[in-house]
Structure 1
Amino acid sequence: MAKPQGSVLEPLYSSAIILLVIVTACVELCDAVTVVDVYRLVQYDLAGVPFGSRLAALNHHAGSSLFSASATAGAAADLSRTVLILPVRELNLTFIKEYIGQTKPLGGLLLLLPPIFNPLNTDSRGESYSAKDNIKEVLTELDQLLIHANIPYPVYFGFEDDHVNTVLADVKKNDAAGQPATATTGGYKLVVVAREPKKIASPTISNIQGWLPGLKADGDSNQLPTIAVVASYDTFGAAPALSVGSDSSGSGVVALLEIARLFSILYSNPKTRGSYNLLFALTSGGPYNYNGTNKWLRSLDQRVRETIDYSICLNSIGSISNELWIHVSKPPDNVYIKQIFEGFSSVSEEMGIKVGLKHKKINISNPRVAWEHEQFSRQRVTAATLSELSVAPDFLESTGGLSDSRHFVNEASISRSVKLVAESLARHIYGQEGKSIDIFADDSSLSINPSYIRSWLQFLSATPRVAPFLSKNDPLITALKKVYVFFAIYARPLKT
């Protein structure tokens, strides 16, 4: 099967949660075995060039340092038969960069993440804000280092806990004494029994769309203008099984679902149904050049696509920052862009937040798509991206990596973004631009629901969403489709 049009990333390799067996080999042969969960580094090809970890199986003794205590100070140890256990909070990124860049031999690498970055951990106590931010910066840089390297040995991620920390303390003690683990002296051996990774030949691209028809006097809603609200739901990061992307793209998905809920209430009553159709799209392939968005747009009936007045794409809107940006491809003086920006600016001023405008012209000769709205622009559809990011991220950057966890996303910020988008769209739909009205007022039937936002954010923050590992019948896909059904948002069939 051919790759989706515009693809820049070749199929990934299967990478599931694997069990790491730690074997304690005592001199008296009183072995003890412990099993812990670990997660493999991603493996993929880009334009035929291999990236990530190229091996999965592991069977070597544990070590704790890049350097040998028994050699001269600072001398590199022979680690070709050693699995290094390195806590991220103690990581020296400079040494790791040099070691990987020089392709030095290593039996394997186990990186221990603080518990706060475990998607199943909802308790952030025990870590100060500054400590969390510092570790997040390290993880962000580490994520980018690992996914852009070709590493010829197994690399795994695990989480700190009391037992693992006890094992690591023993390994450090032995290394410091110049007594590393061997088959004769004992120590700890790390074993992963894994089959050779297989390439995913034809990854699935599942786009999920819903349709709220507007009200027209003659009953033909197909002749009405359409506004599209779009968010990419999938992720990419160094460890696919940990790529939950709470902010990117979880916050955008949560905001879209709440906006859809609010307008489904308005449109359920003919007296308050607007004269615009509303199209809600959750797209796949966001990290991969927004391939899913491209496929979805090309699959839309041409008559529907031509009715789109404009599209708002939601990307990373969950930070605590009080500043958002509207990114566009058309010049700021374009009449449609001015209309969108002025509508958002009017609402944002009332809310006490700042919204800026960023213009980035599309280079047609460059296949790289930095923002989701650029796929719309290439189809000559007016679109903009709302994001907390002031500049476009690099390829595979800010796509839901190791550091993008629930504890760094602010629910109030998502609610604020929902209010901004929903109010701006409503004033445009009902011809109330420039008027200080509050359609989605607090304590009304149209108020934003913090519990709804919280529940979806928690669900997405515990759900890895790397597209090639999601089937069409994946529980996540099914859950998102059911939301549209529950709110009576119709699934508009795609043209085949």
Structure 2
Amino acid sequence: MFEEASEVFDNMFKSSFPLTFIVFIPAVLILVSPLPAEAAHEFTVYRMQQYDLQGQPYGTRNAILNTEARTVEAEVLSRRCVIMRLADFSYDKYQKALRQSAGAVVITLPKNMSAMPQDIVQQFMELEPEMLATETIVPVYFAMEDDELLSIYTQTLTSSSSQGSLSAAEVLLHTATANGFQMVTSGAQSKAVNDWAITSLEGRLAGVGGEDLPTIVIVSHYDSFGVAPWLSYGADSNGSGRTHAGYNLLFFVSGGGKFNYQGTKRWLEENLDHTDSSLLQDNVAFVLCLDTLGNGDSMHLHVSKPPKEGTPQYSLLKELETVVNSQYPEVKFSMVHKKINLADDMLAWEHERFGIRRLPAFTLSHLASHRLAERSSIMDSRPHVDVNKLSRNTKVVAEALARVIYNLTEKGAPGDLQIFTEQMQVQEEQLSAVVDWLTAQPRAAQLLDKDSSVVSTLEYHLGRYLKDVKRHYVKADKRDPEFVFYDQLKQTMNAYRVKPAIFDLLLAVCIAAYLGVMYLAILNFGVLYSVVRRITQPKAKVYFSVAV
């Protein structure tokens, strides 16, 4: 192809000069333009949370992006897509983009999150609640880094950083000649999802004596939460919160846990307000909520009201202390007392939902405070869970519950008596497989409908060990919705290599000048031809005769 083109150009050069000049320049511009494959890059982006809770909007309110890329180092960010890497992210830089009315913010995350320095990970986890605290009009996206995206960031960073150190003329020239990237999303504007159902699961094990026995309720929520729903895997929160006798055991796996425990709230209303027969109405010994138990060497029993001596709640507290002190001395166990603050928009722990309805309840977690960032972060991925510690904590809960259910302390059983041994011991391989499965897909409440494989699989496994397994659905009230979810949480973004607008202006001026010259050349073709011929015509040879 190139050989044929060279022959055409050679013939053109041998012909008249104006024709060569007219055709050659556009041909060169076409040949030197980048190939389509080199001029665009397509990648997946995950939008920040967008939801309403109790009428209060949270997260980003926009999903459309079509603007030129810049990094935060650029002086002007207005109506630009600001690209930030997680390694360089800070709240001040993020706020700078918002204050300057940036067109969008794209935060790139490394594929191997566990390789990131822990101080950077911890810093970002602490900033996530701040990012979600109030709504923002600016669309905010997250993307996983690849070679092409890193190249786009590097080129954009070079362009953004150089502008501040150049003179006005240099900036103008650089702007006209540099390459840029136009970031465009393929989706539409986000809208509210109507009739979304949050699903919870219930199952029970009856003790000897049936309905007349007191009931112990074991509760754990299965959904996860983070600044971006599609990146919320919830390895430790709450992928690690999942064991006949003189008590009935009632198990409840709640949905909407990260949205003020909407599944638990509706379940309590159904059992306490809208039915005459329920295990929750008769004699509840206590409610034990499990949350974030996959790491750490400490266990905290969070209570809204300290248990009184002689109550089943107090017995569980003492049995937990006994098991930890006698069998796992490396674990630090403590009780954390925090009153329920009804003025807060969000409850601190799930047991507070039961405490509001005057049911004795507490939450067991390795976290000392509900405000710690590990509970609601996209950084809570599979490497964040230590299966050995999760197995140990599972055994602590099982041993303590068994000692309460069978009243082993009053029967004289020693504190170091281990019930779950041999065939009944915790299977770490099976536990690891469960955690792997739970963290293989994001479990944000906006992504888990009633047909979700997560819900169906949890229901199947509960049905293998429990009786009367049933589903409970929660839909927001149409007139005064407690929660509203939005779509467009995952989109495809394209980065197109483009020239800036000033380049288009400069190119238009050059084309106009070029056409003007061609127009004048055609009008005065005779004069131009005479001049060209006079220049190109060979000089006549002059002969002198010499007389001899």
Which residue among 286, 305, 315 is the counterpart of 1:330? Answer: 305
Per the alignment, residue 137 of structure 2 pairs with 152
Instruction: Note the 1:41-60 alignment, pairs <5 A.
Output: 41-60=48-67
Per the alignment, residue 107 of structure 1 pairs with 103
Per the alignment, residue 348 of structure 1 pairs with 324
Per the alignment, residue 11 of structure 1 pairs with none
Q: Would you say the 8 A contact 1:203–1:469 is kept in 2?
A: no
C-alpha separation between the residues in 2 aligned to 1:410 and 1:463? 19
Instruction: Note the 1:173-252 alignment, pairs <5 A.
Output: 173-178=158-163, 185-216=178-209, 221-252=210-241
Q: Give the CA deviation at 1:230.
A: 0.8
Q: Would you say the 8 A contact 2:292–2:375 is kept in 1?
A: no
Please report the TM-score for the alignment, with normalisation by the length of structure 2. 0.72
Which residue among 228, 250, 259 is the counterpart of 1:288? Answer: 259
RMSD: 2.7
Q: Give the CA deviation at 1:348.
A: 0.7
SS of match in other structure, 1:136: helix
Q: Would you say the 8 A contact 1:26–1:187 is kept in 2?
A: no
Q: For residue 153 of structure 1, what is the amino acid of its counterpart?
A: V
Which moves more between the two structures, 299-308 or 222-231? 299-308
C-alpha separation between the residues in 1 aligned to 2:314 and 2:307? 6
SS of match in other structure, 2:112: helix
Per the alignment, residue 403 of structure 1 pairs with 379
- The Cα offsets for residues 25-51 of structure 1, whole Å up to 9 and x where unpaired, read as 997243332211110111223454433
Per the alignment, residue 298 of structure 1 pairs with 269
Q: Would you say the 8 A contact 2:225–2:378 is kept in 1?
A: no
Which residue among 427, 433, 446 is the counterpart of 2:424? Answer: 446
Q: Structure 1 pair 45/294, CA: closer, same or farther in 2 (3 Å)?
A: closer
SS of match in other structure, 1:165: helix
Q: Give the CA deviation at 1:149.
A: 3.3
Per the alignment, residue 277 of structure 1 pairs with 248
Give yes or no for the alignment of 1:362 onto 2:340: yes
Q: Give the CA deviation at 1:174.
A: 2.8
Q: For residue 437 of structure 2, what is the amino acid of its counterpart?
A: F
Which residue among 265, 268, 287 is the counterpart of 1:311? Answer: 287
Per the alignment, residue 120 of structure 1 pairs with none
Q: Would you say the 8 A contact 1:244–1:400 is kept in 2?
A: no
SS of match in other structure, 1:491: strand
SS of match in other structure, 2:188: coil
SS of match in other structure, 1:425: helix
Q: For residue 187 of structure 2, what is the amino acid of its counterpart?
A: A
Give yes or no for the alignment of 1:84 onto 2:91: no
- The Cα offsets for residues 118-159 of structure 1, whole Å up to 9 and x where unpaired, read as xxxxxx4xx2xxx53112212213312221233222211011
C-alpha separation between the residues in 2 aligned to 1:239 and 1:97? 18
C-alpha separation between the residues in 2 aligned to 1:493 and 1:471? 12
Q: Give the CA deviation at 1:250.
A: 1.4
Give yes or no for the alignment of 1:93 onto 2:91: yes
Q: Give the CA deviation at 1:233.
A: 1.2
Q: Give the CA deviation at 1:398.
A: 4.8
C-alpha separation between the residues in 1 aligned to 2:122 and 2:96? 19
Q: Would you say the 8 A contact 2:203–2:466 is kept in 1?
A: no
Q: Give the CA deviation at 1:380.
A: 2.1
SS of match in other structure, 1:377: helix
- Between 1 and 2, higher relative CO (CA 8 Å, sep ≥ 6) is seen in 2
C-alpha separation between the residues in 2 aligned to 1:365 and 1:78? 41
Q: Give the CA deviation at 1:275.
A: 2.7
Which residue among 416, 441, 464 is the counterpart of 2:392? Answer: 416
C-alpha separation between the residues in 1 aligned to 2:31 and 2:441? 39
Report the structure, 1 or 2, having the larger helix content: 2
Q: For residue 91 of structure 1, what is the amino acid of its counterpart?
A: F
C-alpha separation between the residues in 2 aligned to 1:361 and 1:92? 34
C-alpha separation between the residues in 2 aligned to 1:281 and 1:208? 6
SS of match in other structure, 1:282: strand
Q: For residue 138 of structure 2, what is the amino acid of its counterpart?
A: Y
Q: For residue 34 of structure 1, what is the amino acid of its counterpart?
A: H
Give yes or no for the alignment of 1:28 onto 2:33: yes
Q: Would you say the 8 A contact 1:147–1:237 is kept in 2?
A: no
Q: Which runs of 5+ in 2 are unaligned?
A: 1-29, 164-170, 475-548
Q: Give the CA deviation at 1:65.
A: 2.8
Please report the TM-score for the alignment, with normalisation by the length of structure 1. 0.79
Q: Give the CA deviation at 1:94.
A: 2.3
Which residue among 95, 103, 125 is the counterpart of 1:140? Answer: 125
Q: Give the CA deviation at 1:312.
A: 0.9
C-alpha separation between the residues in 1 aligned to 2:142 and 2:343? 39
SS of match in other structure, 1:194: coil
Q: Which has the larger radius of gyration?
A: 2
Q: Structure 1 pair 298/48, CA: closer, same or farther in 2 (3 Å)?
A: closer
Q: For residue 268 of structure 2, what is the amino acid of its counterpart?
A: L
- The Cα offsets for residues 402-436 of structure 1, whole Å up to 9 and x where unpaired, read as 22111112111211111011001111112212533
Q: Structure 1 pair 494/49, CA: closer, same or farther in 2 (3 Å)?
A: closer
C-alpha separation between the residues in 2 aligned to 1:304 and 1:493? 16
C-alpha separation between the residues in 1 aligned to 2:308 and 2:208? 31
How many residue pairs were aligned?
A: 423
